[in-house]
Amino acid sequence: MTVATIIPRAEHCISRDNIDDNALKVLYRLHKAGFRALLVGGGVRDLLMNHVPKDFDIATDAHPEQVKKLFSNCRLIGRRFRLAHIFFGREIVEVATFRAGYEGQTSDSLQDDAGRILRDNVYGDIEDDVWRRDFTINALYYDIADFSVVDYTGAMEDLKKQQLKLIGDPETRYREDPVRMLRAIRFAAKLGFSIHQASEKYIYELGHLLRDIPPARLYEEVLKLFHSGYALTCLGLLQKYQLFQYLFPQAGEHLEDSQFEEFIRYALESTDARVNEGKPITPAFLFAAMLWGTVTKLRDQYVEEDMPLSLAMQHAMSIAIKAQVSHTSIPRRFSMVMRDIWHLQYRFNHRNGRRAKSLLTHPKFRAAYDFMCIRNKAGELQDDSCEWWTRLQVMSSDQQEKILNPSRNSQTKKKTLKKKI
């Protein structure tokens, strides 16, 4: 048995004022029913760092069915390990029963040859639950019974040292779940922490295990890495730790081309800016950017082989998407938008007539225009396209008409002149 360090209310900065009301309601009701009820994970970590948590996860010794009985607005999800989702309008508070199945406790039969966890559905108590968590700083609990913080792993010290340290033996923990390597990158980028030496070393050695992660899970991780407002830092770390190639193998090859790298960096910079300004973002833009180097290379290759341009483009888009989805899935609704973004790039060359006008009202104009401006900025397009299309959008429709149909305007002028004469 491990002894926890209990940090009493007076000695830490977590105030209930900063905890979501609905999460508090759930904690209190579980506690009043006689169960243990604690906040855990990112919520506690972020509060201790004076950050605003993304969500509040709750851990309890109540079994999922017992949680369901306490809350009418509760749904149990998951088959392998059941979680309770408690609905408050659009907000969901997630409640997980303490889980066993940590290193040393899992027998060989629960793991595959690579050491990955296959079964992880045994309920336990808090002392089991803590060891199956990934990093020490993610394994802190806030106990609603006395408002103390419970630290089993030396997490408070690591918070102070600003370091990410895997709980247990790093090699075993990465083998159990290789996605933890991506999580290390994500938290290092988000919190500005360093990765503890031992936890760092094995990333270089075990990165290849990411090849075995199902594409659907990698897709989710990619969004977390690149859509949380620190995509550029994540890219740098993924390159440093040689993990980028497992997420985007095709882009990985083209990143050696400095212009393409510049393009990706500008694309991510713009994504980060949008996230931080609270503007909407779409996975379609991210994936379109990551695969653009491949699409253009393939397109040029097919054109050289005498394929007509539009066919070459269609073909290149399909091949690039097909190759990517064996690594990270891309939902169809997004791959369709990616094709639109890519395809519309050609339409920016037509600066007059109805075609140009209709481009402005195309449902994917905005994303395609942003994409084009980034190509421009990275030097792939060496003309005034971005500037020209930016100016066009802020013009009145009369002014647009004049620019887009200069000949028609001069004809009308001639006609009026004739009439006057």
Return the residues of window 49-88 that contact ligand ATP according to CB under 6 A: 54-55, 57
Shortest Cβ 45–ligand ATP spacing (Å): 6
Is 41 among the residues that bind ligand ATP (CB under 6 A)? Answer: yes
Compute the Cα dihedral for 121, 126, 128, 130 and give only its sign. positive
- Per partner kind, with CB cut-offs from 5 to 8 A, the member of Mg ion, ligand ATP, none near residue 247 is none
Q: Which residue is nearest to ligand ATP (CB)?
A: 42
Return the residues of window 355-414 that contact ligand ATP according to CB under 6 A: none
Distance between CA 410 and CA 32 in Å, rounded? 81
Nearer to ligand ATP, 172 or 405 (CB): 172
Q: Tokens 């004076």: give the residue.
A: 50
Asked whether the beta carbons of 63 and 97 are under 8 A apart, the reply is yes
Count of residues that interact with ligand ATP, criterion CB under 6 A: 12
Annotation says 57 is catalytic: yes
Q: Tokens 């990619």: give the residue.
A: 222
Shortest Cβ 52–Mg ion spacing (Å): 12
Annotation says 120 is catalytic: no
Contact range with Mg ion by CB under 5 A, out of 52-60, 143-151, 214-222, 345-353:
52-60
- Per partner kind, with CB cut-offs from 5 to 8 A, the member of Mg ion, ligand ATP, none near residue 139 is ligand ATP
CB atoms inside a 10 Å sphere around CB 173:
23
Shortest Cβ 74–ligand ATP spacing (Å): 19
Is 96 among the residues that bind Mg ion (CB under 5 A)? Answer: no
Among 23, 27, 42, 151, binds Mg ion (CB under 5 A): 42
Shortest Cβ 183–ligand ATP spacing (Å): 6
Shortest Cβ 104–ligand ATP spacing (Å): 15
Asked whether the beta carbons of 266 and 378 are under 8 A apart, the reply is yes
Shortest Cβ 309–ligand ATP spacing (Å): 43
Q: How far is CA 86 from CA 23, 31, 33, 90, in A?
A: 9, 16, 16, 10
Shortest Cβ 245–ligand ATP spacing (Å): 21
At residue 178, φ and ψ (nearest 5 deg) are -60, -20
Shortest Cβ 187–ligand ATP spacing (Å): 7
Q: Tokens 């097909």: give the residue.
A: 322
Nearer to Mg ion, 83 or 323 (CB): 83
Contact range with ligand ATP by CB under 6 A, out of 1-9, 133-141, 296-304, 342-350:
133-141
Distance between CA 147 and CA 6 in Å, rounded? 10
Annotation says 55 is catalytic: yes
Is 99 among the residues that bind ligand ATP (CB under 6 A)? Answer: no
Tokens of 224: 């977390």
Residue type, 142: Y
Among 61, 143, 158, 177, binds ligand ATP (CB under 6 A): 177
Compute the Cα dihedral for 360, 362, 363, 365 and give only its sign. negative
Task: Give the residue from 215, 230, 220 showing the smallest Cα distance to 185.
Answer: 230
Residue type, 90: R
Among 12, 99, 180, 196, binds ligand ATP (CB under 6 A): 180
Catalytic option among 46, 134, 143, 158: 134
Is 127 among the residues that bind ligand ATP (CB under 6 A)? Answer: no
SS (H, E, C) 80-127: CCCEEEEEECCEEEEEEECECCCCCCCCHHHECCCCCECCCCCECCHH
Task: Give the residue from 240, 225, 238 showing the smallest Cα distance to 275.
Answer: 225
Is 179 among the residues that bind ligand ATP (CB under 6 A)? Answer: yes
- Per partner kind, with CB cut-offs from 5 to 8 A, the member of ligand ATP, Mg ion, none near residue 133 is ligand ATP
Catalytic option among 46, 57, 143, 272: 57
Asked whether the beta carbons of 178 and 75 are under 8 A apart, the reply is no
Distance between CA 335 and CA 81 in Å, rounded? 32
Return the CA Rg of the chain.
Answer: 27
Asked whether the beta carbons of 99 and 132 are under 8 A apart, the reply is yes
Asked whether the beta carbons of 221 and 179 are under 8 A apart, the reply is yes
| Binding-residue pattern over the window 134 to 153 for ligand ATP, x denoting contact by CB under 6 A | x---xx--------------
Catalytic option among 55, 120, 128, 169: 55
Question: What residues line the site for ligand ATP (CB under 6 A)?
Answer: 41-42, 54-55, 57, 133-134, 138-139, 177, 179-180
Catalytic residues: 55, 57, 134
